[in-house]
């Protein structure tokens, strides 16, 4: 179910891939810690399955996508589900800006992966703040 006036976060579901794990960890940090009042998570798998509530959430609210690779599945699925991607993040781009954080691991990220996820979460939170400040059209 879509929550009113919440920015939708759709992370990569690249299971078995380090950048996919970084994507999901960042999304969890945003919705659980950094912006729980203004952000909600929609799982990519729910969009792929065409789940009514997930599709309604992305159609009714601006979305921020976090893609783990160049396939950009999260971004493509939000668009295909009738949603508006307000901002798209690619984990690799964030890594390029934060090369000191070298992510490793899949089931559990190493310290570098957790730090990269945190840096990404902070960037996403800043975009949420910008989107919340924009007047309604």
Any idea where the domains of the chain sit in the sequence? 7-131
**57 pLDDT more than 70:** yes
The mean per-residue pLDDT over the stretch 96-111 comes to 95
CATH architecture type of domain 7-131: 3-Layer(aba) Sandwich (3.40)
Q: Is the pLDDT confidence value at 3 over 90? A: no
Residue-level pLDDT at 4: 55
Average pLDDT, the chain: 93
Return the closest-CA partner of residue 2 out of 76, 73, 48, 62.
62
User: What does the alpha-carbon distance between residue 53 and residue 96 come to, in Å, rounded to a whole number?
Assistant: 35
Q: Which two tokens stand for residue 76?
A: 């493509």
Q: Is the pLDDT of residue 133 over 80?
A: yes
């Amino acid at each position: 179910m879509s929550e009113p006036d919440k920015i939708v976060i759709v992370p990569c579901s690249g299971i078995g891939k380090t950048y996919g794990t970084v994507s999901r960890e960042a999304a969890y940090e945003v919705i659980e810690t950094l912006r729980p009042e203004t952000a909600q998570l929609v799982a990519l798998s729910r969009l792929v399955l065409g789940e009514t509530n997930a599709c309604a959430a992305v159609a009714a609210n601006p979305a921020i996508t976090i893609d783990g690779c160049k396939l950009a599945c999260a971004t493509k699925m939000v668009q295909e589900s009738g949603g508006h991607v307000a901002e798209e993040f690619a984990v690799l781009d964030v890594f390029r800006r934060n090369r000191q954080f070298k992510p490793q691991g899949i089931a559990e990220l190493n310290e570098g992966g957790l730090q990269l996820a945190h840096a990404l979460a902070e960037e996403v939170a800043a975009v949420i703040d910008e989107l919340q400040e924009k007047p309604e059209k």
